[in-house]
Structures are given as C-alpha cells and as structure tokens.
A and B are shown apart, each in its own frame.
Chain A
Amino acid sequence: MTQNSRLYTVFAEALGVQIDQISDELKYNSIPSWDSTAHMVLIAALEDAYDVMLDTDDIIDMSSVVKAKEILAKYDVVV
C-alpha cells in the first residue's frame, strides 16, 4: 500500500465512504459524511494510524485531504 492510498483508506474508513470517493481535492463539509462529528472521528483515526497527537489549531485547519497531508508532514509523517 502506498502512503497516499494508506491515507485515503484512513479517510474512507473514518468517514464511512468508499475509497474512490476520496481524493486530494475532497474538502471538509463538501459531502454529508464529512461533518463536524465525522471530523473528530477522522482526527482520532489519523492520530491512531500515524501515531501523532495533533494540535487543536491543526484540527481546525484540516479543511481538505491535501491540507491533511501538509499538516501530517509537520509531524514528520510522509504521506
């Protein structure tokens, strides 16, 4: 599994959607299953998958899949 597909898998499982619905362009609140509650589930899943603990500012800033990549990079996670 590539790093990118691993990230997509984490997103898909956390948001409860098919992996083909995940792309770098997918944005927070752009689909019904990525609402504020699902966002917190997603954060927990990302923290678990990549063994990091995100700052609150980063949780708020995580507005898209590509933004998630940028934020995870700050924690030395290669995606």
Chain B
Amino acid sequence: MTKQLDGRKAFITGASKGIGKAIAHSFAEQGAEVHLNARNKNDLEALAEEIRGRHNCKAYVYPCDISNPEDVKQAFVNYRATNRQLDILVNNAGIMQNSLLGMVLPEHILQTFSTNVFGSVYCAQLASRFMMRQRSGVILNIGSIVGEEGRSGQSVYGASKSAITGFTKSLAKELAGFDIRVNAISPGMIETELLEGLAENKRLEAISNIALGRIGSANEVAQVALFLVSDAASYITGQVIGVDGGMAF
C-alpha cells in the first residue's frame, strides 16, 4: 500500500518531545525517512529507536543546538555526507519563557530569538540549497497562536513567533520559483511538556477560551503537518494554519 511520504526524506528540529516528536512519528508512519534534531543526544537516540521499531523505517539523529549557526552547519554537513536529497524541513525547535515586559532580561530576548527565529533561518538556508538543486521541497515552520493574537506575559515569545509568520510568507514568495512550498502551523494550547507546570486554575481558564472546550493533542498538530508537507497540499504555500480549537484570548 502506498504511503503519503514514501521515498521522502524529512529533517525535523526539536524532534525529541511534544509536537516535534508527534510529527516525527506521523511522517515515519507515512513512509518518510526521518532525520531528527534536538539538543539532547540520548533523547534523540531513544526516539530514533522507537520510530525504527514502530514504523519499520530509517531514522537518524543530529544532536545540536540550532541557535548556533556552526552547529547547524555541521549537522547539515553530516546529513550531506550520506544524502543528496532533502524533501521536507520542519522548523519546530523553540523555547518559551514567560515574563511581563518589565522583567524581560536582554539574555531572555536573545535566547528566544536565537532559537525560535535565527535557528529556523539557519536551517532553512541550508535545507533550501538541497531543495533548490532538486527543484522541489517543503519547509514547514511551527509558529504559535501567540504570534498571531498576542498574549499578556508573552511579548518576547509572541514577537519571535510573529517573526516566523513573516519569515514564512516572505520565504514562500522567494522559493516558489523553485517549486519549494513554505507554510506554517500556528498551534494553540497543546498538551505537551510545556503545559506540565501549569496550575489547574490557569488550565481551566485557558480551556474556557477555547471554542472546542479542550486542550489539543500533539498528534492533532502532527496530522496538519502531515497534510501540509504531502502532495495533498501541493497548491498551498505562504499560509499560516491555525490549529487551536477556536482559541481566543
């Protein structure tokens, strides 16, 4: 039986947890060879083993911090050592630190933008060179509803995710001539490790702002990611798709 991503090679950043992990599983399940990035090598190797066992596919690891351009370069040099083809890049790695504006430290701004924005740019720069050569490819960026709607206490995080929206729309226009599609997903409140420390009253308050009345799952984001990187979305580029259950702040 043909799978949606048979023969495709996908590089996924921030793959060891949450949405990135769910995306890695969904792509592998649909026949993709997955190349996994995150900072923690042990977590990545455990995930790769899990994916190989569950989906009977190839999975490789590239542990590095994507906020460091030299690390990103080395990861892609390692990738290139055995691969000439790259079909899909998912820029999922990101950090979220909440602070009211008066308590935002310069290093907090730098860390947030270095990972959420600069890291995505570094990865797209190198991945797009493979894709330009083959004149096909898909880049999928993971933004946030906070970047679209804003949220108190998340001005820096929101700014970084708004940057991802601008990056997505501009890059889609720049790379369209090479048949490279660029889209973003803007998740709302998703059940991941990021929510583990959330107080129950805050959780209930957040749910009251979601039209569907519940928190989403990482798999629900992954299914939209799968659609956007598949041929089913062949005429979609430059879009930011909300996966938020109808959330409003």
Contacts and interface: CB of A to CB of B under 8 A. Distances in A.
Interface of A: 37, 40-41, 43-45, 47-48, 53, 55-56
A47 B84 CA distance: 10
A29 B130 CA distance: 23
B132 A40 contact: yes
* Binding site secondary structure of chain A: helix
Contacts of B80: 53
B132 A53 contact: no
Given A37-B177, A47-B133, A55-B73, 15 more contacts: A40-B132, A41-B132, A43-B129, A44-B129, A44-B130, A44-B132, A44-B133, A45-B133, A47-B129, A48-B133, A53-B77, A53-B80, A53-B126, A53-B129, A56-B125
Assign chain B's interface to a size class.
10 to 19
Interface string B98-135: 00000000000000000000000000011001101100
B76 interface: yes
A14 B169 CA distance: 27
A48 B84 CA distance: 8
Nearest to B74: A53
B84 A53 contact: no
Contacts of B125: 56
Contacts of A55: 73
Interface string B152-168: 00000000000000000
B133 A53 contact: no
Contact of B73 (A43, A48, A53): A53
Nearest to B70: A55
A43 B77 CA distance: 15
A41 B132 CA distance: 7
Nearest to B79: A53
Contacts of A56: 125
B239 to A, nearest CB: 23
Nearest to A47: B129
Contacts of B132: 40-41, 44
A79 to B, nearest CB: 20
10 contacts: A37-B177, A41-B132, A43-B129, A44-B133, A47-B129, A48-B84, A53-B73, A53-B76, A53-B126, A56-B125
A40 B84 CA distance: 17
A6 to B, nearest CB: 17
A53 B83 CA distance: 13
Among B77, B80, B84, B129, chain A packs the most CB atoms within 10 A around the CB of B129
Interface in B57-81: 73, 76-77, 80
A31 B126 CA distance: 26
A13 B125 CA distance: 22
Contacts of A45: 133
A47 B132 CA distance: 12
9 closest A-B pairs (Cβ-Cβ)? A44-B133, A44-B132, A44-B129, A53-B77, A48-B133, A40-B132, A53-B80, A41-B132, A47-B129
Nearest to B133: A44
